[in-house]
Amino acid sequence: MERRTVGSGALRAGAVGLGCMPMSWAYTRSQRSGVESERTVRTALDHGVTLFDTADMYGPFTNELLLARALGARRAEALLATKCGLLASDGHLVANGRPDYVRRACDASLRRLRTDVIDLYQLQRADPEVPVEETWGAMAELVAAGKVRALGLCAHDARAVREATVRGDVARGGAASRGATSREGGVTVRTARGVLAAPREAPYAPTVRVLERVQQVFPVSAVQAELSVWSPEALRVLLPWCVARGVGFLAARPLGSGYLTGTLTPGQGFEPDDVRARHPRFTAEMMAANQPVVAGLRRVAARHGATVAQVALAWVLAADPRVVALPGTKRAAFAAENAAASALRLDARDLREIAALPRARESWDVWG
């Protein structure tokens, strides 16, 4: 598999990585299998995948344990990327950026991952009550101590904050439902009846402001953000920022949480514990409305003898040589299929055809 540089060159990763979250978090619990998940990790390794992305909150904690078991004696073949800064508490996601917590969280992740060093340690969410420079400074100390090789930041644009608010997963215990004010990346967003009125600015502009601040403390090696055919917002501001500074870009949800695989059908429904059951783009109406996107990818795939998912991943990889795609899966067959996408090269005709596809729709479009 093609290798790509993440950050200043200390990390070299396969162009396609593996997002491990679906193995123990966010998606339907009844479809999880520890045995199959471990086989998925090993299959990914066999097909050239090197970057494995997890987080302490996935499970919580069990995803790191699973990944460690799966890698076993093959730890040296992998780049381990995990995260801190976000805790699951009473049905809400609570940010914690206190330096003492960061240090404890890192030590705990090292134990669960059965490793002496984390290759990429990422801040999953900035804490609105702690200056991000303090959090990042504590993470930089972990690099100096030899516990971490490089640092990364997970990005959140206004839409992601709005989605979290609708779900009630707001930092500090769901203040949005009380019409309170929260801060995300230095931008104040006011809420009423659980719906966020997002500021009208370029997507990921708040994240760029945070990146500018932490970059003054210690170099950012990678930024992780959603990037896919139906969510291309990172191309406007965030990816150019990374490219200009030699920062790696980890494309999260490059398959649109499964929709861009072409295997989901409108109205199929999701079990209550699956996050897609509450996601605006996965209502029956919106899934039907976005079928032209999948149909367009399927036409391109037919010309290449590829799958819809492989074309979606190839489009992400074509954005820039610094992009590493992180499709999530818990099935070995899909891991192998995704890895093969690194060899697919889309030509100018393919890219023009994909660019001409209708803009993906979602039930919150009216909010801008």
Catalytic site positions:
58
Q: Which run of H or of E encompasses 93?
A: strand 92-95
Sheet strands side by side (includes 79-84): 18-19, 51-53, 79-84, 118-123, 148-154, 222-226, 248-252, 323-326
Query: Measured between alpha carbons, how far is residue 119 from residues 5, 34, 203, 365 in Å?
Result: 13, 24, 28, 38
Please enumerate in sequence order all residues whose Cβ is within 8 A of that of 120, keeping only pairs 6 or more positions apart, or say none: 6, 11, 51, 79, 80, 81, 82, 148, 149, 150, 151, 152, 221, 222
How many Å apart are CA 254 and CA 247, to the nearest integer?
19
Sign of CA dihedral 217, 218, 219, 224: negative
User: For residues 17 and 99, what is the distance between their CA atoms, to the nearest angstrom?
Assistant: 29
Dihedral angle computed from the Cα positions of residues 302, 303, 308 and 310, in that order, rounded to the nearest 10 degrees? 140
